[in-house]
Amino acid sequence: VNPQIESAPASCPLAQRFEQVRAQSLRLAEPLSAEDCQAQSMPDASPVKWHLAHVTWFFETFVLEVFEPQFKPHNPAFRVLFNSYYNAVGNKHPRAQRGLLTRPSLVEVLDWRQAVDARVLHLLATPPSQANVSQKMSQIADLIELGLQHEQQHQELLLTDVKHLLFCNGLRPVYRKSWPLAQVAPVALRWLEFAGGVVQIGQDLADHTSPGKRFAFDNETPRHLQHLRPYALANRLVTHGEWLEFMQDGAYSDARWWLSAGWDWVNTHHVDAPLYWTQHTAGDASADWHSFSLHGEAPIDPHTPITHISYFEADAFARWKAATDPLCRGARLPTEFEWEAAAAPQEAALRSAGNFIESNALHPMPVARTPRDAADGQTSPLLQALGDVWEWTSSSYQAYPGFAPWAGAVGEYNGKFMVNQYVLRGGSCATPRDHIRASYRNFFPTDTRWQFSGLRLARSA
């Protein structure tokens, strides 16, 4: 931060949070070289340098340009280069060619970050002189909070994009060396029953500046009623070991388990394992499978939650399990409403127990057997619902009844993507802990695998 510019007082919670979140993005880039930060491994993934620039663009475009007196852009060209998808802002650099942006350099992007940080903090410290000051400050605070939530989303993308990039290199470079996996006793799959009925889903319109209210994205609103039949959820996530059993039983070569579009996808792309799995010696499906993580390549651990699977794979697994395991008759994916109704009452405990980016595992972790599990099989809590992996649901991503996108250009944030995608719930090992909540809706197309996506089984009671 430029010390010559007056900053918001350190006691301002939003200024503190701003500095913390901005610093976390830089920390995530620390293990990487400038070359690592430049490359783009596929159209879905962006270079780290682009992420660092784009989240800065968000503050410059949606906060400074609107509210800073005598605003001048740091560099007018950046408005186009680092616009992701906002048509209301104007032209965009093509998404698939972000890796070709060798200029500005990483150093120039970091300088831009520092300059924008100083200007945002200055804006927070100096209320505008015009009329409606308190209304303006509230708008500024709302947009800064949105910018921080946006940056936290990009922190997760930064890690998943880096993972894909490093996997594309035959050297299998390691992002972080330590391997935190501990040996634990597996937790048996149990069914947790829920009565259903009429349940409240979602959040009231976001108004995080009022005391006691928290941030929510517009796609989580408005809070509304849903009717659920009685249902059950598995107490824990599906594991790598269970996935190996699925593969040993012919998973990827048995059309019975697959949706038609999923079967086409398997055959067109010759899919025979989750993303990042490699088999070191030819043989049967159980032999010598390794998977790549941000800690490098290692043999499959059977107790860690399965991850990097598509919607098609998650759905196929549930069908296979329903048909082959007497304990799992009727197994299917949960709806997003079943998931939320089960997780919301336990949100605080789930968040404090969850494996998030702060734990530095950067990989889903096995659940340890808890005393409660050992003592009472019937009351075992919902495990791993927040953190570890995003859980595919069978709900297609669409607007809640009464949904209205935010006003202005930020109205393009979520609403325009409500087609051809499915909802995932719960956050992952790459999600910041204070970013996730039970009502949070992530969404991806059915063949997406590079996020930390996994599944939990459900069934009707």
CB of 156: closest distance to Fe ion in angstroms?
11
Choose between 38 and 155: whose C-beta lies nearer to Fe ion: 155
What minimum distance in Å lies between the beta carbon of 85 and Fe ion? 8
In whole angstroms, the minimum distance from the beta carbon of 253 to Fe ion comes to: 39
Token couple for 32: 């990487």
Tokens of residue 289, six digits: 């499978």
Give the separation between CA 313 and CA 127, rounded to whole angstroms.
52
CB 409, min distance to Fe ion, A: 12
Q: Which is nearer to Fe ion, 92 or 433 (CB)?
A: 92
Residue whose C-beta lies closest to Fe ion: 84
414 sits near Fe ion (criterion: CB under 5 A): no
Binding flag, residue 46, Fe ion (CB under 5 A): no
- In angstroms, give the least distance from the CB of 38 to Fe ion: 19
Footprint (CB under 5 A) of Fe ion, residues 78-107: 84
Q: Choose between 84 and 239: whose C-beta lies nearer to Fe ion.
A: 84
β-bridge pairing 453-454 and 390-396: parallel
Phi, psi of 377 (to 5 degrees): -65, -25
Query: For residue 396, which phi and psi values (nearest 5 degrees)?
Result: -75, 150
Amino acid at position 282, single letter = A
Residue 348: CB atoms within 10 A of its CB come to: 10
Q: Indicate whether 61 belongs to the interface with Fe ion (CB under 5 A).
A: no
The site that binds Fe ion (CB under 5 A) totals a number of residues, namely: 1
Whichever of 84 and 448 has its CB closer to Fe ion, that residue is 84
Cα separation, 228 vs 59, in Å, equals 41
What is the CA angle 151-156-157, rounded to 5?
90
The nearer residue to Fe ion, 274 or 432, going by C-beta atoms, is 432
Q: Are strands 390-396 and 296-299 parallel, antiparallel or unpaired?
A: unpaired
Name the minimum Å distance from CB 395 to Fe ion: 23
Applying the rule CB under 5 A, the residues between 158 and 187 that interact with Fe ion are none
Q: Which is nearer to Fe ion, 146 or 386 (CB)?
A: 146
| 277's tokens | 């799995």
Nearer to Fe ion (CB atom), residue 269 or residue 416: 416
Closer residue to Fe ion in complex, CB, 55/367 = 55
Contact 305, 237 (CB under 8 A): yes
Exposed, middle or buried, 436 (CB in 10 Å: 0-12/13-18/19+)?
buried
Q: By rule CB under 5 A, what string of x and - marks binding of each residue 248-287 to Fe ion?
A: ----------------------------------------
198 forms beta bridges with 227
Q: How far is the CB of 83 from Fe ion (least distance, A)?
A: 9
H or E element in which residue 233 lies: strand 231-234
Count Cα atoms within 13 angstroms, Cβ side, for 373: 15
Supply the minimum distance, in Å, between the C-beta of residue 413 and Fe ion. 8
How far is Cα 419 from Cα 398, in angstroms, rounded to an integer?
7
Peptide linkage before 186 cis (omega within 30 of 0): no
- Residues of the shown chain interacting with Fe ion in the complex, contacts defined by CB under 5 A: 84
